[in-house]
Amino acid sequence: MSNETKTNADGSINAGGDTNNNTKKDVSKGSNIITPRSQDYSEWYLDVIKAADMAEYSPVKGCMIIKPTGYAIWENMQKELDARFKETGVENAYFPMFIPERFLNKEKEHVEGFAPEIAVVTHAGGKKLDEPLVLRPTSETIMYDTFSHWIQSYRDLPLLINQWANVIRWEMRPRLFLRTVEFLWQEGHTVHETEKEADERAREMLEIYRDFAEEVLAIPVILGVKTESEKFAGAFKTYCVEAIMQDGKALQFGTSHHLGQNFAKAFDVKFLGRENTMEYGWQTSWGVSTRMIGGLIMTHADDKGLVLPPKIAGVQVVITTIINNDEDRDLIIAKAQEVSSWLKEEGIKVKIDSRDIRPGEKFYEWERKGVPVRLELGKKDLANNTLFMARRDTGEKTSISADDVVVTVANTLEAIQANLYDRAVAYRKEKEKVVDTWEDFVKEIEAGNFVHAHWSGDAGVEAQIKEETAATIRCIPFDQKMEDGVCIKSGKPSKGRVVFAKSY
Amino acid sequence: MSNETKTNADGSINAGGDTNNNTKKDVSKGSNIITPRSQDYSEWYLDVIKAADMAEYSPVKGCMIIKPTGYAIWENMQKELDARFKETGVENAYFPMFIPERFLNKEKEHVEGFAPEIAVVTHAGGKKLDEPLVLRPTSETIMYDTFSHWIQSYRDLPLLINQWANVIRWEMRPRLFLRTVEFLWQEGHTVHETEKEADERAREMLEIYRDFAEEVLAIPVILGVKTESEKFAGAFKTYCVEAIMQDGKALQFGTSHHLGQNFAKAFDVKFLGRENTMEYGWQTSWGVSTRMIGGLIMTHADDKGLVLPPKIAGVQVVITTIINNDEDRDLIIAKAQEVSSWLKEEGIKVKIDSRDIRPGEKFYEWERKGVPVRLELGKKDLANNTLFMARRDTGEKTSISADDVVVTVANTLEAIQANLYDRAVAYRKEKEKVVDTWEDFVKEIEAGNFVHAHWSGDAGVEAQIKEETAATIRCIPFDQKMEDGVCIKSGKPSKGRVVFAKSY
């Protein structure tokens, strides 16, 4: 973690840069403070976060401070997802962050999966506690103990609960947004009458994640099922959304678990069925986290900094004023405000930057922060009734008519959203390889690719491949083609290809 | 805590009752499950929470589970407050919930104030930690350590940060919403160049709390300054918003602290000033929590259940169908949907309850949940082009024309909002007493009143009064009249009256 701690030691980028004019000199020089991807990808990732002023490491090892620019993205993510969840009947609630240790021990696979990562409170209120309390790594156990009291009969089902919360998993190799000891997430938990209904719900929520990833974040994803070795501790099946990052590594964007009746049996989540018999509930849980912000960065950002898809950007358009002498000031600012009000009326999120600093300094700042469209307005523009427009994604610059600004900007925002998605799809295509020999497999994995290859379903072979290449099976894709083949490693018969990659 | 734990042991009200038809028989009997206020106020409070399905105790002692109906109120509170904060330039961020123990020890008064209530993580990731980590009881220490890196010069100021988070204070006498080991809140933290600016900010945020309490929650409040003994641990001055509950006790609704330079000195929050000298920042912090929900209940609820002011209600209007035979069903539901769409167009939050259960069961459920307006729609209404309307606040019932429903409902919602506020103001007037003798003081405090009385400013006398009567000085009110008098207890000279009451 030598790369990551650098940020912590430095930790000197200003917060609230948007409103407080507090750009620091070394940052304001422009994009040259960002290590190019080609030179050092990990360093580039951290540099982008720093240059866009999104987050930094905290004095507590492994924990991060999400700064206003980063947190605004999280707020937008929450807003978009929360509305989609609620549309399907899900309601929000809040459960304690403390879990009695005995709860965690009730589902065997679950405790084995999480035991190495838990943090425990042993002392509180000046005393040693009778029973240690675990800080939630996820809330299945505490929620399902309660659900067992809430549910009496089939009429109480489905129960559809979501929670926005912080969770704790003791990570020894932290990386901003991708892997931190404390992170923010949502965790949905549902109980159903039948296996079929639970499975449909798990897939429905996965589809919401896909839609959000592709339509809002412009991140193309692969949907599928995890293998037994990779599934969630205690789940019956884990569905997942996987994305390809710019270094060819996979990022698990979100997961949706069909839990079967495993937890229901451990926590006595029973109901009186339609046939008057007591039955165990069928359950799902599903979650996405602040890790999505890492995925957003590693999908779209470039060597100049962050690049935000318009649909997730807190600021979609920034109007920067170019004021060379005091007499023009009022007129230029008045025009900027007029243009801003036109754009706002169309629901476009716009910000005026009329700070008295060098124009270049302002341009670079918004470039680093990934604002999709920058409009510049100076004395000449005023005379010509024009604005100068720069696209963040392509760098393209054009002079546009002030009269058409609303339509031009709206179209440009749409074009940027589409372009970012298309670019990511093209990248994914380039990175997806179909191989049939072990030699090719090793070569493509080492080249940082997503590899479609045959595998017989043998967990021992899966483990061996992981040990030798660091690649894991990301998923058995939903669109898997049924075809006879032989396992890339063992030569045993296989009925279809699965997706291998190295991952975050 | 014998009263409170009852709820936990039972814990059998269904969640998601709104959408899942899962009303339990004992609850559906109506308001008779709620203990009258006159009989047992504490019991009444818990019964209202249970009957409205808002929250319950969790298996972890002192922690609560906020159920969907309760959480929806919190979400509305967040939305309203967050918008008001952002309008003043505040930005949201997120800091770790872990605080290194040594941080807490840096500000002497602060650590003394919080030490008895802290919870400590000693083991994590399977190992004993080198340094114990405290779970944040509040975030001054962890934030200001970071602020010291963020701030270099006066140009970086003001720094205006807010955080929505869970905090932990080990409470031995928990009470749902009012006092729990873990609670949800917002904590704002700002840094300023001058003492004057910090003081203005602290008062500005207090004014936002007042506005929110009075205009949205219809809770009239008293604004003032805390005495030295009652102020926040480490603050220079604590401003507060106090409300009177139905039992005459005070609820501290929110506080806003002018921290002076105390924390800045402890955490080295320094900046290069305009005169080129290094100076310590002037700071504020301010917060409100899920405790506001307790205040909302104890201001407006009655013996039938919760009563929600329209401006905070998640559902402002419920349309309940009365269907006696299958042939009317489609027509009645179609009309309900039509009325619902008209109301929605006007921005009114409406819900249709067309469940096939006894109408009375539906009415009581919405009454218990405090929905401001209930519309009933049956066959007769259809024929007469009317709806039957019931107000939750007054219980008033009238038949209204379906053609006028939007205007009638909009006016009624406004009238309810105003009535609830006026009713609470009238109640407060009744409960506020001005006394001049110790005998009257004791009598009025015991009768559960807010007492305006002279006090010389002597902390020893303040402590003595608290010991003898359990009353504390809620605040030195902003509108304190300067008048010569003598301290109610000590007979020492006093320049004005302060407000005494028992409190939550």
* DSSP per-residue letters across B419-437: HHHHHHHHHHHHHEEE--S
What mean pLDDT comes out for the span B398-402? 97
**Residue A145 and residue B59: Cβ atoms within 8 Å?**
yes
Q: Are A349 and A313 in contact (CB under 8 A)?
A: yes
| The residue type at B282 | W
**In B60-188, which residue ranges form alpha helices assigned H by DSSP?**
68-87, 101-104, 108-114, 140-150
A91 interaction partners in chain B (CB closer than 8 Å): 15-16, 18-19, 68, 71-72
Say which of A16, A66, A184 has its CB closest to residue B159: A16
pLDDT at B222: 96
DSSP state of B369: T
Provide the CATH topology of domain B432-501: Translation Initiation Factor IF3 (3.30.110)
**Minimal CA separation from A19 to chain B, in Å:** 7
**What's the pLDDT tens digit per position in A303-323?**
999 999 999 999 999 999 999
A89, A201 Cβ separation under 8 angstroms: no
Does B63 sit within 8 Å of A96, measured CB to CB?
yes
Best interface-test mutation with B: which of A18, A56, A60 has the largest number of B CBs within 10 A? A60
Q: Give the whole-angstrom CA distance, residue A42 versus residue A20.
A: 30
Contact across the interface for B125 and A119, Cβ inside 8 Å: yes
DSSP state of B212: I
pLDDT of the residue at B96: 98
- pLDDT of residue B242 exceeding 90, the answer is yes
SS (H, E, C) A183-249: EEEEEEEEEECCHHHHHHHHHHHHHHHHHHHHHHCCCCEEEEECCCCCCCCCCCEEEEEEEECCCCC
* Tokens representing residue B97 in the block: 């919930």
How does residue A10 score in pLDDT terms, banded at 50, 70 and 90? very low
The answer on pLDDT for A434 being more than 90 is yes
d(CA A205, CA A190): 11
DSSP state of B138: S
State yes or no: pLDDT of B2 exceeds 50.
Answer: no
What are the residues facing B282 on neighbouring strands? B192
> Would you state the structure tokens that stand for residue B55, as one six-digit string?
């929250």
Whether pLDDT at A224 is above 60: yes
Nearest CB to A100: which of B14, B59, B117? B59
Local structure of residue B274 (DSSP, 8 states): T
pLDDT of B210: 98
Residue A28 has pLDDT above 60, yes or no: no
pLDDT at residue A129 above 90?
A: yes
Q: Are A496 and A476 in contact (CB under 8 A)?
A: yes
Residue type, A301: A
The yes-or-no verdict on residue B27 having pLDDT over 80 is no
> What ipTM is given for this predicted complex?
0.92
Rounded CA gap, B30 and B26, in Å? 8
Which of B11, B66, B122 minimises the CB distance to A149? B11
CA-CA distance, A374 to B21, in Å (whole number)?
51
> Nearest Cα to B292, choosing from B189, B214, B373?
B214
Band (B11; pLDDT cuts 50, 70, 90): very low
Rounded distance, CA A182 to CA B98, Å? 9
Task: Name the one residue in this structure whose structure tokens are 């309660």.
Answer: A146
* High-pLDDT (> 90) share of chain A, %: 88
CA B319 to chain centre: 28
Query: What is the reported pLDDT for B115?
Result: 87
Q: Which two tokens stand for residue B5?
A: 């734990």
Contact list in A for residue B20 (CB cut-off 8 A) is 155-159
Taking CA atoms, A103 is separated from A119, A129, A133, B119, B460, in Å, by 15, 16, 10, 20, 48
Which of A67, A156, A166 comes nearest B14 by C-beta?
A156
pLDDT over 90 (residue B110): no
Mean pLDDT, range B44-64, rounded to an integer: 96
pLDDT at A3: 34
Under 8 Å CB-to-CB from B30, ≥6 apart: which residues? B360, B364, B367
pLDDT at B32: 55
Cα B110 from chain centroid? 24
Asked if the model's pLDDT at residue B35 lies above 80, the reply is yes
User: Exposed e or buried b for every residue in B49-88, given b needs 16+ CB within 10 A?
Assistant: bbbbbbbbbbbbbbbbbbbbbbbbbbebbeebbbebbeee
Across B275-289, average pLDDT:
98
Determine what percent of chain B is predicted with pLDDT higher than 90.
88
For B157, the closest chain A residue by CA position comes to A20
Interface probe with A: pick from B12, B64, B77, B121, most Cβ of A within 10 Å: B121
Q: Is the predicted pLDDT of residue B9 greater than 90, yes or no?
A: no
A63 contacts B150? CB cut-off 8 A: no
pLDDT of B3 over the 70 cut: no
Residues of chain B with C-beta less than 8 angstroms from the C-beta of A158: 20
- Which residues of chain B make contact with A99, given a CB cutoff of 8 A? 60
What span, in angstroms and rounded, lies between the C-alpha atoms of B256 and B254?
A: 7
Using DSSP, state whether A132 is helix, strand or coil.
strand
**pLDDT band at residue A32, thresholds of 50, 70 and 90?**
low
State the architecture of B70-299 in CATH terms. 2-Layer Sandwich (3.30)
Average model confidence (pLDDT) across chain A: 92
Q: Does domain A431-501 have CATH number 3.30.110.30?
A: yes
Cβ contacts of A71 within 8 Å, gap of 6 or more: B91, B92, B93, B94
Q: Which phi and psi angles does A102 have, rounded to 5°?
A: -65, -30
Per DSSP, A257 falls in state: E
Which residues contact residue A16 at a Cβ distance below 8 angstroms, ignoring those fewer than 6 apart? A22, A68, B91, B159, B160, B161
Judged against a pLDDT cut of 50, whether residue A27 lies above it is answered with: no
pLDDT level of residue A115 (50, 70, 90 thresholds)? confident
Residue with tokens 């100068």: A388
Instruction: For tokens 């818990």, name the residue.
Output: B46
- B462 or A31, higher pLDDT: B462
Q: What is the mean pLDDT of chain B?
A: 92
Q: What gap in Å lies between CA B35 and CA B40, rounded to an integer? A: 7
Q: Give me the residue spans of the domains in chain B.
A: 70-299, 317-414, 432-501
Check B150 against A182: CB less than 8 A apart. no
Q: Does the structural domain B317-414 have CATH classification 3.40.50.800? A: yes
Mean pLDDT lowest among B7-16, B72-81, B228-237, B427-436? B7-16
Chain centroid to CA A336: how far? 34
For residues B251-257, average pLDDT: 96
Smallest CA–CA distance, residue A489 to chain B, in Å, is 34
Predicted local confidence at residue A110, as pLDDT? 83
Percent of chain A with pLDDT over 70: 94
Q: Tell me, which fold does domain A94-294 have in CATH?
A: BirA Bifunctional Protein; domain 2 (3.30.930)
Over 60: is that where the pLDDT of A407 sits? yes
What does the pLDDT read at residue A29?
A: 39
CB pairs under 8 A between A and B: 211
pLDDT greater at residue A17 or residue B450: B450
Round to the nearest angstrom and report the end-to-end CA distance of chain B.
14
| β pairing state of B278-280 and B237-244 | unpaired
